[in-house]
Structures are given as structure tokens and as C-alpha cells.
Amino acid sequence: MIDLYAMGSPNVVKVYLALEEMGLPYKVIPVDVFGGAQFDPAFTKMNPNAKVPLIVDHEGPGGRDYTVFESGAILLYLAEKSGKFLPQDPARRFDAIQWMMVQMTGMGPMFGQFVHFMRFAPPGNDYALERYRTQAKRVLEVLESRLAETPFLGGPEYSIADIATFPWARNVGPLLGKAAEADYPKLMAWVAGIATRPAVVKALAAVDDVRAKTTAFDKAKPEMLDKVFGRGAFAAA
């Protein structure tokens, strides 16, 4: 059994998708991030970086409990454990890993900052907003070009590269405006195809459930938002 420490955000959605796709049994432990639960000492003992997702595999290496944080590391761990969604052939394997890394180091941070400046920052941050919108669109163009060459990001097979990317890519319309979807036809067709996978449907229903059990960002106390975002009284000197 795997414990999944979760909220409803895209980085956590990746892990729901992987667990469902791989058929690994799991138990969800909601972490109320906008209530500050990631700062509890019991949680930071498991992840000193104070973020979800995190898993505890009760049948880890050597049959012992093993904790993994960072969504990319979790996807690699689960792929190794299950033997699924990461090809064995070395070239295919690193094709999948490098496209997963594009999500981890490019798409995730750029979209994350774009959403921050769009939704949470006070007015007067036009430079940052434009920079991150441009970077988000740039990475979407890279994904669009890749999907013109190959059915899935890692190559011919669905892999952890797709699992990592889907949770953000499905939000292109809500984040950039419905009209923006027309700029990325291959990517949107890929999103639509993945959305019909039975494991994905099941995972997204489970994500709705954890959302109902955790504080939504717009219901968070102002001082908790300041703490999560490292601003106001929580800004570094």
C-alpha cells in the first residue's frame, strides 16, 4: 500500500494519474496546504521542502517503508516499481525522461509563476506577468512541435512524460483563454485523447474528492497566503 499526501494541484494530479494507470493500491492523506499543514513538523520530517506531493511506500526497497517527494522523482519511482510507462530500451527510456524533465524544469515552474502573477500578485507586476506568460507559451510551442512528430511526448508509447505534462496542459484554456487552445491543435488533441483513458477519469474523480477535503486558495486566510507565497511578514530580508 502507498500513502499519497495530496491536494488538488497539478503536481499532485500527476501522482494520482500514475497510481491509477499503474494499478498500484493507494490511500489518500489530504494535506491542507492553504491551511498550512505542509509546515507541520510531522510533515516536514518527511519532506523538509514542505511541499506535496509525497508518497510513503509501505513495501519500499528491502520491504521497508520508503518516502519519496518531488513529483518527477515519484513518477520515476513508481515507473521503476511497476515496470510500466517507462520503456526498457535505453534510448526510448531517456526520450521519456528528458521530456518529463521539460515538464519538471520548464513547463511546471513557468506556468506556476504565470499563475502566481495572474491570480495572486498585487497589481503592478506587468513585467513578471508578461515574462511568465511568454515563457509558458514558448514551452507550449515546444510541446506542439514534439507532438507533430510523435503520438506521445516520449515517443510512440504513453509514458511518465505524458503523465507529468497532462495536468498542466489540460489547463491551457482556463489559464490562457479558450481562444489560445486553437494555437496548439496537436497538444489539445493529445489532451483530449488522454482525458478519455479510464485511469485518468478515475484519477480526476479522486482529485475532486481531495479538493473537497482541503481549503481552496480563495478561502485561505490572508496571513497563510503570505506564508505560502513568502511575502509580507514572511518575505526574506
Ligand X SMILES: N[C@@H](CCC(=O)N[C@@H](CS)C(=O)NCC(=O)O)C(=O)O
Minimal distance, residue 211 CB to ligand X, in Å: 12
Q: Residue 134 Cβ, how far from ligand X at the closest point, in Å?
A: 21
Closest distance between ligand X and the C-beta of residue 45, in Å?
15
CB nearer to ligand X: pick between 12 and 188: 12
User: Is the CB of 189 or the CB of 229 nearer to ligand X?
Assistant: 229
What residues line the site for ligand X (CB under 6 A)? 9, 11, 33, 38, 50-53, 70-71, 228
C-beta of 86 vs 107, nearer to ligand X: 107
Nearer to ligand X, 57 or 188 (CB): 57
Q: How far is the CB of 71 from ligand X (least distance, A)?
A: 4
Selection from 213, 169, 194 nearest residue 85 by Cα: 194
- Kindly tell me which of 53 and 154 has the beta carbon lying closer to ligand X: 53
Nearest approach, Cβ of residue 236 and ligand X (Å):
14
